[in-house]
């Protein structure tokens, strides 16, 4: 396995783990966005530019979800 393939494997595995854990906290959504960036870089380096473009879109979607979740997070119980 060459370095680029190993990087791609890491990127998509990291992204998948973050996606699975999104319900545990909004920080996982932000990490998912980071994984999408890594997958995007892999796609362009590998020469699969359609994959890279799709990952750019997923990065934007994830960042929007993270931002909305951050803003919508309740402050906690009022005393």
pLDDT (tens digit, 9 = 90+) per residue, 7-38? 999 999 999 999 999 999 999 999 999 999 99
9 domain residue, yes or no = yes
74 domain residue, yes or no = no
pLDDT of residue 75: 56
* 42-50 long-range contacts, CB within 8 A, separation 24+: 42/4, 42/7, 42/8, 42/11, 42/12, 45/4, 45/7, 46/4, 46/8
Q: What is the dihedral of CA 63, 11, 42, 49, to 10 degrees?
A: -60
Structural domain range at position 57: 3-69
At residue 35's C-alpha, the angle toward residues 31 and 39, to 5°, is 170
Higher per-residue pLDDT: 36 or 72:
36
The number of domains in the chain is 1
pLDDT (tens digit, 9 = 90+) per residue, 42-71? 999 999 999 999 999 999 999 999 999 887
DSSP 49: H
77 domain residue, yes or no = no
16 domain residue, yes or no = yes
Please state, rounded to an integer, the average pLDDT across all residues of the chain: 92
78 domain residue, yes or no = no
């Amino acid at each position: 396995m060459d370095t680029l393939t190993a990087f791609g494997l890491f990127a998509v595995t990291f992204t998948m783990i973050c996606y699975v854990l999104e319900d545990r906290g909004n920080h996982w959504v932000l990490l998912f966005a980071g994984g999408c960036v890594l997958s995007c870089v892999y796609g362009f380096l590998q020469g699969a530019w359609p994959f890279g473009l799709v990952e750019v879109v997923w990065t934007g979607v994830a960042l929007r979800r993270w931002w909305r979740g951050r803003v919508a997070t309740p402050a906690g119980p009022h005393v």
